[in-house]
Amino acid sequence: MLFIKRGSLDQLLESLTGDYRVYVPRSMGDSTGYSLLGESDTNYEIGKIRSFDPLKSFYFLGREKVSEDFKPDILRDDKPLCIVGAKACDLKGFKILDFVFIDDEYGDPTYMKARKEGLIISADCTGVGETCFCTAIDINPWPESEFDMNLSPVDDGFIVTTGSDKGRDIVISNKNLFTEAAEAQTEAVNENRTTVKSGVMERAKEKKIPVMDRLKRIIQKQYESEIWKDVAEDCVECGACNTICPTCHCFLLYDQKSDSKLARYRIWDSCMIHDFARVAGGENPRDRLWMRLRNRFDKKFSYFPEVLKEIGCTGCGRCTAACPGKIDIREVLARLEVR
């Protein structure tokens, strides 16, 4: 086990800016949000819990030009991404996004490039968010895969684990920044993990979230339930839950309106919005708000388990935190089980 002091991490990140666009979480109100690391910039917080912005926003941009005229490629020479402080829930989001966007014939070129070239320096959670419930989705509040290097906060610095050759290479080429971890430090890491995990579990228990293995069955069984209509009463159809979700991947291809130039953009879309599934002829298979709400749950808790054997939810609780109608995904799942 290796240890890196906060000051040495500052140096490491500064050196990474040569090869990467390094994004760091910064304290913003009660939460953290990502922005680009500048020169001699040490004003970042690894963050107790996930940032308010989902990791997907770096790999699958909210609005991105994907085709121009009839040219075969969109040329981009951006440096690859380095994301610092990513939490386990967001990393789980990659299981869904990779499934959707990576494939031989129709893979998304910019997503695949960003995933292949990017560097992820993740971190353990050291607190429990108001809406966190990752443990209910069988995720531990510390990264176990999908990272190149992971930071476990301890006094004055971090215990470092590597998760890929890319991560190991960085450690090797920056040897002088790391020291051997003391036993007390690794114990502190384990202690923190145990405390945070039981904190999340307790919160999930208070909310009576159904056992993970039952979620698919519950959604299928309650497909015709009146609960959907009742919950939809509180929905204002803003789409914030979709935008903020680390696994929501729906998008619209939009051709820029101009005289004759073809410029095609891939723009995030929201399945909660009325016209999402409407066809040009006017038919709309989900013309009622409750049908769209149900569809969102069905996609996450039934569709993805069916096609990928993975739940399309990471327990990050962002949708609940963002909802102006105070719809709490945990409470909806609990209600569906009881009735």
Partner 1 sequence: MNNPYRSIEAEVMKVTTETPSIKTFLLKPKEKLTFKPGQFMEFSVPGKGEAPFTPSSDSKIKETMEITIVKVGKITDAIHELKPGDTVGLRGPLGKGYPLTKFIGQDVLVIGGGVGLAPVRTLMYGLFHMRKQLSKLVYRGGCRNPEEFLYREELEEWMKRDNIDMKLTVDEGNDSWNGPVGVVTTIMDDIDVNFALAKAIVCGPPIMMKFATFKLQELGVKDRNIYLSMEKNMSCGFGKCGHCRIGPYYCCKDGPVFTYDMIREYPGIWE
Q: Which residues bind partner 1 (CB under 8 A)?
A: 66-67, 69-74, 100-101, 105-109, 112-113, 249-262, 264, 266, 269, 271, 276-287, 291, 295, 299, 303, 306-307
Least spacing, CB of residue 250 vs partner 1, in Å:
3
Cα–Cα–Cα angle for 48, 51, 53, rounded to 5 degrees = 175
For the chain, counts of helices (H) and of strands (E)? 13, 11
Q: Is 87 left (phi over 0), alpha (psi -120 to 50) or beta?
A: beta
Q: Could you tell me the maximum CA-CA distance found in the chain, to the nearest angstrom?
A: 68
Output the smallest distance, CB 100 to partner 1, in A. 6
Min CB(327)–partner 1 separation in Å? 20
Residue 172 or 262: the one with the smaller Cβ distance to partner 1 is 262
Report, in Å, the least distance between residue 287 CB and partner 1.
8
Cβ closer to partner 1: 271 or 313?
271
Judged by beta carbon, residue 64 or residue 337, the one nearer partner 1 is: 64
Give the DSSP per-residue string, 169-224.
HHHHHTGGGEEEPPHHHHHHHHHHHHHHHHHHHHHHHHTTPPPGGGHHHHHHHTTT
CB of 70 to partner 1, least distance (A): 4
CB of 3 or CB of 290, closer to partner 1: 290
Structure tokens at 250: 């729906």
Nearer to partner 1, 291 or 334 (CB): 291
Minimum distance, C-beta of residue 221 to partner 1, in the bound complex (Å): 14
Q: Looking at beta carbons only, is 205 or 261 nearer to partner 1?
A: 261
Q: How far apart are CA 253 and CA 90, in angstroms?
A: 25
Q: Which residues contact 231 (CB under 8 A, 6 or more apart)?
A: 290, 293, 327, 332, 335
Question: Burial letters for 87-120: b for 16+ Cβ neighbours within 10 Å, e otherwise?
Answer: bbbbbbbbbbbbbbbeeeeeebebbebbbeebbb
